[in-house]
Amino acid sequence: MTSISNNYADYFGSWALIAGASEGLGEAFAREIAKKGINIILVARRKELLEKLCSEISQKYQVKTKAIQLDLASADVLIKIKTETDNLEIGLLVYNAASCPIGLFFHFDLQQQYKVIDINVKGPMIFTHHFGQLMRNRGKGGIILLSSLAGLQGYPYNTHYSATRGYTMNLAEALWYEMRKYGVHVMACVAGATNTPNYVFSKQKSRSHKSKTNGSI
């Protein structure tokens, strides 16, 4: 985004919202955006981590921060997020949250699979639909949807996750074209293996699972 402007707050707006922001890539995005002078809203489930990160960012980068404790799989996620943000101009949206169950597809019941859809598919769609309309009406803004290299092909033992990452890429690519005439930039961040806490945990879990199922399928 450095080619756009040196004054990011003027270009995008005064606030950025990062969903899935308590650690890892979400935290990294929050810190980098705060460096540009944009106020930060962090959304995640773990209240302590959110409040700690908000405090660190506000002190280090001299920007305003706001923590929103929210389960992104909840049915009323849009109502809650609108209540917390309707009085703020969200000019930059980063949707980083994802659910990644590791194991054979049929080892997870439908309720667990629905949760993957709620967080990985409905979440970015809801946030993009709501905040994207506001950005379009203002004639400026930016949306970054986190995807994965796993979305480029079927990924055994991460079957449903890889399928949803393909959705995210296609959503972002299509919206890039639709929204550019309104001054809104949309992109997918297709991340590879990144040494985040969730990735380290998932690799440990994956190795454990494969050792148990080796030769059984």
Catalytic machinery residues: 161
Q: What is the DSSP string of 25-56?
A: HHHHHHHHHHHTT-EEEEEES-HHHHHHHHHH
Measure the CA–CA gap between 69 and 181, rounded to whole angstroms: 34
For residue 2 the two structure tokens come to 């450095």
Distance, in Å, from the CA atom of 176 to the CA atom of 144, rounded to the nearest integer, reads: 10
Q: What is the DSSP letter of 181?
A: G
Compute and round to an integer the Cα radius of gyration of the chain: 18
How far is CA 185 from its chain centroid?
Answer: 16
From residue 140, how far is each of 49, 62, 181 by CA, in Å? 31, 24, 10
141-148/90-95 β-pairing: parallel
